[in-house]
Structure formats: C-alpha cells, structure tokens
Amino acid sequence: MTIFYHKMICRLIILGLLLCCACDDQNSPSPSSLATDQGIEQSDMFVHSALDMSTNIAVEPTSARQLRRVSVEQLLRMLPQVTGGIRWIEDFGQGPVDILELLAPSLGAPDYRGVTHELLEPNLLMSKFLSDGAQRVCHTWVQQDRSALGAERTLVKPYQEGLAWDDRSTAQVRYNLKRLLLRFFAFTVTQDDHPRLQALEELFNTVVATSPTDPSGDAWFAVCLALMTDPEFTLY
C-alpha cells in the first residue's frame, strides 16, 4: 500500500507541474507541448523504474540451503548398518576402543554439560577424520568379508551360487557395485551404462590392473574407500 500511495503522489505532483506549464501558454500550441506530452511518458517510466528499484532492494535474494553433515551419533549408527556390524575399533594396549566414541567430544558432539548443541557445518577436521576411519573400516571389512560364507558376506556377495570371493567376472563385479550403491546411498542402478556405475567399475578395473599382490582385495578396498569418503555419504 505504501508503494501505491507513493506512486499516486508522484503522479499528482507531476500532473500539477504540467498543468502549471500549460496555464502559462494555453493559446500557443507549439512543439514544446509535444515535448511536454512526451515528458509525461518519460516521467511515468521514471516513476515505474524508481518503484521497481525500491521493490527489488527490499526483497532479499533467495539463497540455497547450507549443507550439513551427519552428527557423530548418526555416524556411530551408520557404519555398522552399512558394513554389517563393523566399527572403527583400535586397541592401544588397554582393550578395544571405538574411536568414534573416544573422539566424539573433539568432533563437536554434545556432552550436555559444557556443550549442548552440535555444530553440523562441514569442516576439514571431520573430513580428515572420516578419511582415516574409512581406511581402517574398509581394511577390516575386506578381511572379514573374504573369510565369511557367501550368505554372510556384506561387501561382496556371489552373483551365482558357488562363485568365489575373488571372482572378477563382469557380471559379478557389476552386481556387487549396484548393491553397494544401494547400500550406501539408497540409489538404485538398473542400467549397466549408468555413469556412477561406470565410474566405480573403472576404479575397480584400474586397481586390479595395478595391484602387485592382491588384485581383488585391493580393488574392493578401493571401492569401499570411494563410497565411504563420498560427500553424499555424510552430507545432506
């Protein structure tokens, strides 16, 4: 409403000025009157432009939602769910310790005494921490999965009954890459030419071709590491 009244007042002022000018020379139509008529149109455009500018200044631009990372508590639940029960466990001589629980206060988890709210902005400390943890978890996952029975595996399941863990046939590899994309990101891939599937398959084949001693183990370790350190796994 304020803009409407402002516009009306401007129009009345301009109209009053034009009427005054017309009264000074009522009987002398000249090219100047045409210029005055043209000036009305220019004044209207000026008022519209000024109002548009003031309106644009008043409206705040729409901004994208800021990314957030999962909390330490969420990560504690996510890792065992994805890996089939594996946690980031270390033994420093006094028994096994869950590193996530040990370092939770340093990563910003609330203790509800001094800290009651966890800051969930992505940061370099958390990224470095996740990278270190992923290497340990993926190494353990490969070793445990390799020695498990086919039905108990969570990293590499047999595409057909009787396939060995080290089988690297195209069908076996693609079957498990699709499984892992669904397991990590709830992302279903049905086409073999999907870019995300092809990227993981290329990574797998590259590691197989360059691994000196354990092509299958190193390749599945690399796939696990790529998925676990993917920003989509911990950011939302």
Q: What is the pLDDT along the chain (236 residues), one digit of tens a residue?
A: 444 444 444 454 554 444 444 444 444 444 444 344 444 344 333 333 433 433 344 445 556 668 888 888 888 999 999 999 999 999 888 899 999 888 888 777 877 777 777 777 777 778 888 899 999 999 999 999 999 988 899 999 999 988 999 999 999 999 999 999 999 999 999 999 999 999 999 999 999 999 999 999 999 999 999 999 999 998 88
Classify residue 160 as left (phi > 0), alpha (psi -120 to 50) or beta: beta
Strand partners, 98: 89
Q: Half-sphere exposure (CA, 13 Å, Cβ side) for 141?
A: 29
DSSP state of 61: P
Please report the pLDDT score of residue 62 as a whole number: 54
Question: Can you give the pTM of this predicted structure?
Answer: 0.69
- CB neighbours of residue 178 within 10 Å: 20
